Amino acid sequence: MSGGRLKRLLEALVGRSLLAGLGLSFIAVVVIVALFAPLFAPYDPLEVDLTASKLRPSPEHPFGTDDLGRDIFSRVIYGARISLSVGFLATGLALLIGFSFGLLSGYAGGAVDRAVMSLTDITLAFPSLLLAIGVTIVLPPGIVTVFIALGLVGWASFARIIRGLVLELREKEYVQAARSAGSGGLGVVRRHLIPNCLPTVVVLASLQVGSFMLAEAALSFLGLGVQPPVPTWGGMVNEGRDFLLSAPWFSVFPGMAIALTILSFNVVGDTLRTNISRGGSLGAVTDVRRRREEKEVLA
Amino acid sequence: MSRYVVHKLLLIIPTLIGVTVITFLLLKAIPGDPVYGMVGPRASPEVIEAMRKDLGLDRGIVVQYCRYLRLLLKGDLGNSYYTGYPVGKSIIEKFPNTLKLAAAAMLFAVTLGIVMGILASLNEGGVIDRAVTVVSASCISTPVFWFGLILILVFATYLKRLPPAGMGNGSIAYLILPAVTLGTRSAAYIARVTRSSMLEVLGEPYIRTARAKGLGEAKVVLKHALKCALIPIITLIGVDFGSYLNGAVLTETIFGWDGLGRFAINGIFKRDYPVVLGTVLFGSLMFILANLIVDFIYRWVNPRVRL
Amino acid sequence: MNLRFCVKKYMRARAHIWILLGLSFLAAVSCGRREPVQDRLVVRLEEDPSTLDPARIVDYWGGVIGAKLYQGLLVYDEKLNLVGDLADSWSVHDGGKRYRFRLRESFFSNKEKVLSGDVKYSMERLASPETASPRSWMTDPILGVESFREGDSEQIDGIRVIGDRELEIELKEPLAIFPGLLAMPNFYVVPAGGCQGGGTVGSGPFMVASWKHDYELILERNPYWTGESPGVASIEYRIIPEDFSALSEYDAGSISVMEVPDSQLPTVRKRMPEQIVEIPGLNTYYIGMNCRRPPFDDARLRRALNMAVDREMIVRTLLSGSAVVAKGPIPPGIPGYDPGLKGYPYDPEAAAGLIEAVGWKGRIKLYGPADRKVLGRLVAIQHYLGEAGLGIDIVQLEWSAFKEAINTGEADLFYISWWADYPDGENFLFPTFHSSNRGPLGNRAEYSNPGVDRLIERARVTVDARKRAGLYRDAQRMIVEDAPWVFLWHKKDIWVHQPRVEGFRLYPVYNSDKGLGIFLNKKNSNIEK
């Protein structure tokens, strides 16, 4: 990536917002810590030591230890790996499915459109958390299962928005011109539709990462998804639930990690949305729309 | 308009059938035979076979599905495998609890959200505006289950002001924490939407006219601007309310709230197929209806809007 | 958007919106507070008992509540003696083959008198394939059960009604523990000809007043109960799934008695030590090993696992001292328990040496139910086995999937517990280690040792209790030597009760408590809000 482009990207991500700057830096820190977790974690996150059970936060154990004597700080650091990878991979999958279906539906129209849209309607009507839980239980437990489950649940909102966008674009003069000039269907899709959808897709994706991370945490909280003893933030909050009265630090720190990371993604996503829509025409991703598609996965 | 309504209502049926097909396929693919969960620690293979036959689980999946549809046509959702209690009856019993929680959560969300949104819009770029932005972003980013636990820790354990969980004897005190937990996300979204649509409206010429006429600021804001800004907020309320009605799984789990969400998830964990099918079907119906109502209101308020 | 238009439309829409909002508010506040009920014992339940139909009860709470609603012929008292429940007196004939019972005068909560025909009906109902009861095996020892099940006979010939209040039961062969079986919830008596209206009509001191599933179950006195009058007017079982919220509710005084969850035990011990009541529980927690397949067909490896896990440490930390370390399958307090049993002390070096000698290199899956309380224990066990040189992966499954995995023999290594149905060593040996019970009948370790089989068979027909206990001890030593289980611990029963609750006792057998001796002291009634 050339220096100029990087600068433009940064500008779009952060703009002049201090908050977004903080958010982006926090994400960078989390990503680096997750990538090089062994360098940052003071202890092995899986190391059980029953003699060190339920220690309060202290200089040796900044976040304390859990009932098995594992260092919570180290577990939070390793937990970032699961959260981030599920967030990104699930977004990728949902985008892939949603984008393809949306394009197909919007461009082809007719029976294809109706078929795709009824599938979308069914998916959206489904209580999403229950659907995600169902898929998670069906597939063998593990991180792949989690992102597949979330991707399968989350694609429908993308598909709807992309379809709407394509319908709009299809009527645009330059697309009409390209079609009447005899450009093949694929050519139009590639040259005109996809590039024009991209900004929306980027904004959607940036806002979606956080939602998927929350959903992963929710699944882990319910004891599903990535299998223990691999540390996940949601799983740690869940394991600490019974000790809320006697050792609140079990749940408090991992929960803060989730909240701060997702806050960063949301702040950056919001800024991106504002900046991009200022530049181009982007009414599609309003808060109403977003909330409408996000539904109760997180309730 | 009425043709549109009828068309939309008819569309519900195939969607719901699709929902049952997916649920059925998922349930059959899930590992774990419900019968094993029901028998005690000592059960002979013959008994297990007999119980499976009793529940109709020994038949092929198509037969089982047709049986279920036939039952549905009779308006019956079947009985729970474990308790033998009719699922439809359970849903009717638990729905008021879910409704109560959803209503309280919405009430909280609307009040807080609109107030925050208005304050922010009047103070565009100022301290309050920025505070509202940060707070609402935080609320959207905080996991519901964790937020609920923290609320319990603070208000029930440390301050001892509110009961931690359960539904008590139906007193309001028990409703507060779950409602706040559930409603916070909605409040944040409502605040954001209120802010942005208020800003849009406040810039309109007729507001300037109203101000120029010398109307009081409060009157201008509340009576003229807010009225128009409310339309997208109504959409949001409708959608959120609809999704809360099919059960807030996490909130109900944490607070031991006896609603549809907890009922459904326990059904999944126990492989109680009729319970899962019934609650999913009911939940989907609620969600679709809430969305339709929002659609209709929207169209009726502004016929030119195409959703 | 055309704003003037929007305003006009809005004015029309407004009324509806306010109605909507108003309604939601009304819905939120309309349910007023209910007055607390006088003289009611409130007990916390973690989840709904799945059924109160005696033929289908398989869970602990089903039995606990069933004991208050129904009567069986016999019941265990707190010293583990069998005493009459419905039976006034009984006698044993033909060396333990024939039992004769005289019933006392009792009434069902529907005012009907309990007759010996009801007892016979209830037993046949339990045995019948139509009922599809998971516990129909309990009727297996009775003469003529097979031909009844196959439809060759209208009734079970071994159960004979002699008079309105007299009854005889004949077995195929003497079975020492049969009277113990009769005390189990599944043999509770229901009115012949079926129970109308929900099927919870019994002759116990209480009856079901209302049951809101997953929320609360309320029992009230059976007006036709003729025995000792219960000390409380009603019992409310309140379902509170979360442990910490249950404890907070207890603190607030809205629960009278509750079982103390392990995670809350340190807090409770510190804050209200004098409110705690505890007794040893009749159960054994263990890790089963599939003895039929490599790697656990090698007894050396099974012994190594027993030595590798530091159970003392786990009990002290993770279980907060709420259990005693197990040395063998039979828990203390049960005939057949052997205080002289050595078991396997924690010896990591010896374990590592044995594991190295066996030379198993593959990773092994440790199955457990998907329960966050179990998870910590699984991880600790994984840790200890890892230190001894065995690579373990934890597989947590939902209860029914877990049961399927261990019943079909898919699991090589699994964490589970065994609870007494009746307090006799037989219950911890025959179902769990006899080779005829391999698989879902209870012997999930697929253990088979002809010598052990013979000892257990002999003990089953030995009516003399002391001789029987000797046979149990011998069998147990052989089993511990073969080590088909990692014997973990015996969990204690630990409860707290409010100061105003008097006469609260724990019974070793879960369905002994008829809810009679407990009452609420009215002087302190202001504590309970």
- Please report the DSSP string for B255-289 in residue order: TT--SHHHHHHHHHHHT-HHHHHHHHHHHHHHHHH
| CB contact set of A280 (below 8 Å; sequence gap of 6+) | A199
Task: Grade residue B156 by pLDDT with cuts at 50, 70 and 90.
Answer: confident
Q: Are residues C90 and C153 in the same domain?
A: yes
Name all chains with 3 or more CB-CB pairs below 8 Å to chain A: B, C
Count how many domains chain C has.
Answer: 4
- Within chain B, all domains assigned CATH 1.10.3720.10 are found at 88-301
Residues of A in contact with B240 (CB under 8 A): 291
Q: Do C244 and A245 touch (CB under 8 A)?
A: yes
**Between chains, do A53 and C376 touch, taking CB under 8 Å as contact?**
no
| C-contacting chains (≥3 CB pairs under 8 Å) | A, B
Confidence label for A298 from pLDDT (cuts 50, 70 and 90): very low
- Tell me: pLDDT of A288 over 70: no
Measured between CB atoms, which of B36, B40, B227 is closest to C400?
A: B36
User: Which tens digits make up the pLDDT trace of A79-120?
Assistant: 999 889 988 999 999 999 998 998 888 888 888 888 888 888
Contacts of C35 (CB under 8 A, 6+ apart): none
C488 pLDDT tier (thresholds 50, 70, 90): very high
Whole-angstrom distance, CA of residue B268 vs CA of residue B13: 24
* pLDDT top residue among A7 and B25: B25
DSSP-derived 3-state class of residue A292: helix
- Domain check: are C401 and C340 in the same one? yes
Contact (CB, 8 A) for C213 and B90 = yes
Any idea what the CATH number is for the domain that residue C220 is in? 3.40.190.10
Q: Which long-range contacts (CB under 8 A, 24 or more apart) does C192-199 make?
A: C192/C115, C192/C117, C192/C118, C192/C120, C192/C121, C192/C122, C193/C121, C199/C52, C199/C53
Which residues numbered 146-185 in B keep a CB inside 8 Å of some CB on A? 146, 149-150, 152-153, 157, 182, 185
Q: With b meaning 16 or more CB within 10 Å and e meaning fewer, what string describes C381-419?
A: bbbbbeebbbebebbbbbbbbbbbbbbebebbbbbbebb
- Whether C400 and B253 lie within 8 Å, measured CB to CB: no
8 Å CB contact of C376 and A67: yes
- Residue C241 contacts B where some CB pair is shorter than 8 Å: yes
Q: How high does pLDDT run on average in chain B? A: 83
Q: Are residues C308 and C443 in the same domain?
A: yes
Q: Of B16, B19, B143, which has the smallest distance from its Cβ to A255's Cβ? A: B143
Do C349 and C486 lie in a common domain?
A: yes
Please give the average per-residue pLDDT across A267-271, as a whole number: 83
Average pLDDT over residues B106-130: 89
Least Cα distance to C265 among C286, C279, C244 occurs for C244
Q: What letter would DSSP give residue B223?
A: I
Q: What is the pLDDT of residue C523?
A: 57
Q: What is the mean pLDDT of residues B75-97?
A: 87
* ipTM of this complex prediction, to 2 decimal places: 0.81
Q: Which residue of C has its CA nearest to A238?
A: C372
Give the alpha-carbon dihedral of C460, C462, C468, C473, to 10 degrees.
-50
- Count how many pairs of residues, chain A against chain C, have C-beta atoms within 8 Å: 62
- Helix residue spans in chain B (DSSP H): 2-29, 34-38, 45-55, 61-73, 87-122, 127-141, 144-151, 173-202, 205-212, 217-219, 226-245, 249-254, 260-270, 273-301
State whether C440 and C300 are in the same domain.
yes
Do residue A130 and residue B249 have CB atoms under 8 angstroms apart?
yes
Signed CA dihedral, B100, B106, B112, B114: sign only: negative
Contact C243 A242 (CB under 8 A): yes
Amino acid A297: pLDDT: 44
Interchain CB contact of B275 with A (< 8 Å): no
Residue C32 has pLDDT above 60, yes or no: no
User: Which amino acid would we find at residue A211?
Assistant: S
Whether the CB-CB separation of B181 and B254 falls below 8 Å is answered with yes
C10–B40 CB contact, under 8 Å: no
Q: Do B256 and C441 touch (CB under 8 A)?
A: no
- What is the Cα–Cα distance from B44 to B46, expressed in whole angstroms? 5
- pLDDT above 70 (res B52): yes
Question: What does the pLDDT read at residue C29?
Answer: 46
What residue in C sits closest to A239 (Cα-Cα)? Answer: C372
Inform me whether the C-beta atom of residue C271 falls under 8 Å from chain A C-beta atoms. no
Q: Number of C-alpha atoms within 13 angstroms, CB side, residue A49?
A: 13
- Of C291, C106, C125, C292, the C-alpha closest to C204 is C106
- A116 CA to chain C: closest CA distance, Å? 31
pLDDT tens string A54-73: 889 999 999 999 989 999 99
Tell me what the pLDDT averaged over chain A comes to: 81
C330 and C212 both lie in a single domain: no
Categorize the per-residue pLDDT at C379 as very low, low, confident or very high, splitting at 50, 70 and 90: very high
Return mean pLDDT, chain C.
Answer: 87
Query: What pLDDT is recorded for position C59?
Result: 85
Q: Which residues of A touch B284 (CB under 8 A)?
A: 125-127
In this structure, whether the domain defined by A79-298 belongs to CATH 1.10.3720.10 is answered with: yes
Do C310 and C399 reside in the same domain of the chain? yes
pLDDT tier at A282 (50, 70, 90 boundaries)? very low
Position A284 pLDDT exceeds 80: no
Cα C285 from Cα C405, distance rounded (Å): 18
The per-residue pLDDT for B49 is 84
Do both C290 and C371 map to the same domain?
yes
Give Cα C278 to chain centroid, integer Å: 17
Is it the case that residue C203 has pLDDT exceeding 70? yes
- Taking only the tens place, the pLDDT of each residue in C230-255 is 989 999 999 888 887 788 888 878 89
Give residue A20's pLDDT.
84
Give the 3-state secondary structure of residue C87.
strand
Is C65 a domain residue? no
Asked whether residue C198 is domain-assigned, the answer is: no
C148 and C40 housed in the same domain: no
With tokens 């002759």, the residue in question is: C203
CA distances C265 to B283, C60, C270, C273, C323, Å, are: 39, 21, 8, 10, 12
Is residue C415 within a helix (H) or strand (E), and if so which, with residue range?
strand C413-419
Which residue type occupies C292?
R
Name the nearest CA neighbour of B252 among B189, B188, B147, B181: B181
Residue B245 has pLDDT above 90, yes or no: no
C318 and A137 within 8 Å at the Cβ level: the answer is no
Q: Does residue B253 carry a pLDDT above 90?
A: no
pLDDT tens digits for C147-197? 999 989 999 999 999 999 999 999 999 998 899 999 999 999 999 876 554
Q: Which secondary structure element, helix H or strand E, spans residue A124, and what is its range?
A: helix A110-125
Q: Which of residues 28-67 of C touch B (CB under 8 A)?
A: 28-29, 31-34, 36, 47-48, 50-51, 53, 58-59
Q: Taking CA atoms, what residue in B is nearest to C48?
A: B83
B210-221 pLDDT, tens digit per residue, is: 777 777 777 777
- Percent of chain B residues topping a pLDDT of 70: 96
Determine, yes or no, domain membership for C301. Answer: yes
Residue A185 parent element (H or E): helix A185-188
CB within 8 Å of chain B, chain C residues 91-150: 129, 132-137
Q: Taking residues A186-203, report their average pLDDT.
A: 75
pLDDT class of C527 with cuts at 50, 70, 90 = very low
Find the domain containing C5 and state its range.
1-32
Instruction: Say if the Cβ atoms of C7 and B175 lie within 8 Å.
Output: no
Q: Would you state the pLDDT for residue C439?
A: 86
Q: Are residues C353 and C231 in the same domain?
A: no
Cβ of B30 and A299 within 8 Å?
no
| Whether residue C143 is found in the same domain as residue C162 | yes
Q: Residue A299 pLDDT more than 50?
A: no
In a domain, C434, yes or no: yes
Task: Report domain B88-301's class.
Answer: mainly alpha
How far is Cα C11 from Cα A298, in angstroms, rounded to an integer? Answer: 34
Q: Is C264 close to A246, i.e. CB distance below 8 A? A: yes
* Residue B235 pLDDT greater than 80, yes or no: no
Task: Say whether residue C242 is in contact with chain A using an 8 A CB cutoff.
Answer: yes
- Residue A295's pLDDT is 46
Please tell me the distance in Å from C362's CA to the nearest CA on chain B: 25
The domain segmentation of chain A, as residue ranges, is: 79-298
pLDDT band, residue C219 (cuts 50/70/90):
very high
- For chain A positions 264-293, those within 8 Å of chain B (CB to CB) are 265-267, 270, 286-288, 291-292
Model pLDDT for residues A215-264, shown as the tens digit of each residue = 888 888 887 878 778 888 988 888 888 888 888 899 999 999 989 998 99
Q: What is the dihedral of CA A186, A191, A196, A197, to 10 degrees?
A: 30
A96 touches chain B (CB under 8 A): no
Burial class (CB within 10 angstroms; exposed 0-12, middle 13-18, buried 19+) of B204: middle
Q: Which of C192, C224, C242 is the last residue of a domain?
A: C192
**How confident is the model at residue A184, as a pLDDT?**
63
pLDDT band at A168 (very low <50, low <70, confident <90, very high): confident
Specify whether the CB–CB gap between A270 and B218 falls below 8 A: no
User: Which position has the higher pLDDT, A289 or B5?
Assistant: B5
The candidate with the shortest Cα–Cα distance to C176, out of C404, C482, C423, C450, is C423
How confident is the model at residue C528, as a pLDDT? Answer: 41
